[in-house]
Every structure is written in C-alpha cells, then in structure tokens.
Amino acid sequence: MLATYAEDTIAAISTPVGEGGIGIIRLSGQRALPIAAELFAGSRKRTFLTVPNFSLQHGYIVHPETHKMLDEVLVSVMRSPYSYTREDVVEINCHGGLLALQHVLEAVLSRGARLATPGEFTKRAFLNGRIDLSQAESVIDVIRAKTDAGLQLAVQQLQGKLSTQVNHLRNQLAQLLASVEASIDFADEDIEIISHVQIDEQLQHTLVAIDQLLAGAQEGKILRDGLSLAIVGKPNVGKSSLLNVFLQEERAIVTPIPGTTRDTIEDVLNLNGIPIRLIDTAGLRDTSDEVERLGVERSRRAIQQADMVLCIFDGSAPWSHEDENFLNVVAHKEKFFILNKIDLPAQLTTDDIQAQLHESMPIFRVSLTEQIGIDALKQAIVNKVMSVPLESVAVTNVRHKQALTLAKTSLLHARQSTCAAMSPEFIALDLRDALNHLGEITGETTTDDILDRIFSTFCIGK
C-alpha cells in the first residue's frame, strides 16, 4: 500500500460543504507541489517549487488551459516529512463558495491528482508512521465530539494516551513470550529460563493492567457517544410525563388511560454537557392488544440496548405483579429507581420498594405534575456518568474494548496452562494471541479490511 501511495497524489475539499469565509483544498503526495505550481500565479513572482516550508503564499489559481483566473487564494506548503501525512502537502485556501472550490478542485484533478477517498489523508498518516491506529481513530472523535469531556478524551487519545499504555503492555508480554520460547528452545538443557510461578506472576500483573483499562470503558463510551436512557415501568406510572419534564415540552401524549404509549418515543437533551438520548417505552405488561404487544416487544429491545434505565413506580398504587415483572426485565442493567406521584395519598413507599430489591439502592421521590424532586434526579444521573475521573479513562472505542477483552481471554487461558504446569508451547500460543489482539488497537496487527472499515467512516478531505 505504501508503495502505491508513493506514486499518486490525492486531493479533496477539506472544509464543510456550504458558504463560508474560507474553503480549503488539500493535496498530498509526490506531485502535490508540481501540480500547485502549474496552477498558482503568485503575486510575488517567485518560483513556487522553492518557496520556504510552512510558508503562506498569496496569488491566484489560473486554469492551465483557458488561463482564466479561478480564485484569489493563499497557498500553504508543508514538505515531507513535516506534514500531516508525512508526504508533501499543499493546502489551497480559497473563498468559501462551493462553485469556486469545485472549479479549483477540478483544475487540480486535471493535472494528475485523483480524488481522495474518505479518511485517506489520515490513513496515509497512519501508513507512513506519523500516528498509530488508535490515534487515527481519535481524529474523527475530535471532529464529532458532543461534549467538552468527550473532546478532552479524544485529544488525549490523539496525543497517544492509550497507545502508550498498550505499547507498554505489549512490551511486557513480548519479553515474557521471549522467555517462554527460550525455555522451549533450551528444553534439553538443565537450565530453568523461567518458572511457572514467575510466568503466572507476570500474567497476573498484565491482567490487572488490562482490567484497569476496561474499568473505565463504559464511561468512556458514554462521554464519547452520549448516554442512552430508557424510561421503564408498568402502564400509567408517569413514563411519558418524565420524558416531557426532562425535555420541557409536550413530546409524548399523556392521559390517565393505561397503554397510551404504544411505541418507543425518543428525543435528545443536553444534561450538564452530557448528550442524553431519552427513550420513553410502552408500559411493560401482558396484553391481548396486538398493537400494544408489538410496542411492548420493541420496548424490551430498547431496554436491552440502553446504557441505563429509569425505573418508575406509582406511589398512589400498591405493589403489583407488573412492578415485579419489569424489575426482572431490567435486573442486569444500570438503573435508577423513582417513586412518582408523591403528591397523592401514598399506597406504595420507598420501604415497600426496597423490600422487593436484592440490593440497597437510592430511590428518588418525585412528583412529575408538581415538578418536585426533578433536579436531584438529574444531578444523580450526571454524577453517575461522571463518577470516573477523566484522567483515568483511556478506552472510549468499542473496537478497543473488544480487543482488550480478547487479549484478557487469551491471558486467562495462558494462566490456566501455567497453573496446570502444561508444556510452554501452549502458554506461548496464548501469549501470541494476546499480543496480536493488543496490536489490533494500535494497528500493529490490523488487516486491510479493518483499516478500510475504520477510515470509511471519515469525511472526505480528512
């Protein structure tokens, strides 16, 4: 791939589509400077190919055949290897109109450049060794960051926070593997290179480090992508009312008739800088109504996919089997418990609910009609999301989490072989698997298919 890329030059519009003060066309490759030189008429009448590195040149882009002036521009020059892609890079700063940008890009392509594919500039930066794969992925996270916390995490990844930790783990495992393989090579010698006890100690140390990385993965994903929060409960407990109160608008229909919500209703709000996707679900109950039954099934799927759930109980009605049924549905989920309708005569108390739970959990007492207790509930959600300090979060990407989980599995298998005093060949096999899985994070052992899949999510021009 590197050899092919060295022979061609790519170009694309790198700024968003639409009107703006400035629009940028980026070129990268061996012919970036010669192509720009053919099109650029500088106001200082100097030879473009000899302009200083990291300089900005004023002039005009002139069509090479019609000699028509296409736009007044500023052109920046970044020679290899001191550029984003480690290739020669030229950026043509045009006026931000779409037509002007298109005409200039067409002129660039007519001189031998080809249109870049999505993410190809960043892919070249990775293939040319300027950044590793986890850093490349963080580029799109910086662009798409929805919160200050998400942006901070993305910048940390771009600086190599995760890469540093993963590379440290890989170095430790590589040294351990070398010792294990040495014990295989010198099996006939009366020398103990490394004992099973020493192997197990090192494996445990590495497993602890991987567990620490995985511990903040869920919070990292939420800070990166936002939180999906399903509102669940039996019919007519106030689920739609809670959605409306959070959104401060009448998003869902509210009536005293149970089963009014027949389908999931979703909307997004920003809660103290955290993007939250609220999902109002149909009341979970057995029903003969076909439409309501389909809504209940869809609600169950939404609950399974949500990051957390808000479990609502009706304080004006006694405990019922429907309350117990929906608790079973959300048993494995992160959740908040809410006792609604505290402004009405009480038939269900927090003690009643607590008696049904297998663990001690805070229960928030609210009145959605009177707007009582809402602020405390919102703050509890924010505190839950932000419970892990940003500096301890290194994993924000599902792909990275999966690779770490697979590496952990391989190391656990290696421990089983070690504790059973099995032949070192079995231990070495699992150590190699763990090394490969960790290498997938930084791109050391990543396939072309994975690269194509990752970079296809980027915008053209980045």
Q: Same domain for 55 and 180? A: no
241 is in an annotated binding site: yes
424 is in an annotated binding site: no
Q: Which two tokens stand for residue 235?
A: 């019919």
SS (H, E, C) 182-247: HHHHCCCCCCCCCCHHHHHHHHHHHHHHHHHHHHCHHHHHHHHHCEEEEEECCCCCCHHHHHHHHH
240 is in an annotated binding site: yes
Q: What is the pTM of this model?
A: 0.73
282 is in an annotated binding site: yes
52 is in an annotated binding site: no
| Residue 60, in any domain of the structure | yes
Q: Same domain for 359 and 239? A: yes
Q: Same domain for 199 and 117? A: no
pLDDT per residue as tens digits for the range 262-293: 445 777 787 877 778 888 876 555 555 555 55
Helix, strand, coil percentages in the chain from 3-state DSSP, rounded to 5: 50, 15, 35
Which one of 75, 104, 131 terminates a domain?
131
Q: Same domain for 211 and 238? A: no
Measured from the Cβ of residue 6, the count of other Cβ atoms closer than 10 Å reads: 12
pLDDT score of 6: 54
pLDDT score of 192: 61
428 contacts 83 by C-beta, under 8 angstroms: no
264 is in an annotated binding site: no
Q: Same domain for 353 and 233? A: yes
392 contacts 216 by C-beta, under 8 angstroms: yes
DSSP-based three-state secondary structure for 27: strand
Q: Same domain for 409 and 363? A: no
Task: Report how far residue 389's alpha carbon sits from residue 405's, in angstroms, rounded to the nearest whole number.
Answer: 22
Q: Same domain for 231 and 350? A: yes
374 is in an annotated binding site: no
| Residue 33, in any domain of the structure | yes
Domain that holds residue 16: 2-131
Task: Report how far residue 332's alpha carbon sits from residue 214's, in angstroms, rounded to the nearest whole number.
Answer: 18
Number of domains, the chain: 3
117 contacts 461 by C-beta, under 8 angstroms: no
Which one of 131, 164, 186 terminates a domain?
131
Residue for token pair 């099973």: 196
Q: Which two tokens stand for residue 360?
A: 């001690």
7 is in an annotated binding site: no
CATH number at residue 315: 3.40.50.300
pLDDT score of 388: 63
CATH number at residue 82: 3.30.1360.120
396 is in an annotated binding site: no
Q: Same domain for 123 and 142? A: no
Q: Same domain for 333 and 402? A: no
| Residue 390, in any domain of the structure | no
283 is in an annotated binding site: yes
CA atoms within 13 A on the CB side of 12: 18
Q: Same domain for 281 and 355? A: yes
221 is in an annotated binding site: no
Measured from the Cβ of residue 290, the count of other Cβ atoms closer than 10 Å reads: 8
259 is in an annotated binding site: yes
79 is in an annotated binding site: no
CATH number at residue 188: 1.20.120.430
258 is in an annotated binding site: yes
Q: Which two tokens stand for residue 13?
A: 């519009």
Q: Same domain for 356 and 408? A: no
pLDDT score of 47: 78
| pLDDT beneath 50: ranges in the chain | 1-4, 252-255, 257-263
| Residue 296, in any domain of the structure | yes
Q: Same domain for 17 and 86? A: yes
295 is in an annotated binding site: no
SS (H, E, C) 241-267: HHHHHHHCCCCCCCCCCCCCCCCCEEE
171 is in an annotated binding site: no
457 is in an annotated binding site: no
160 is in an annotated binding site: no
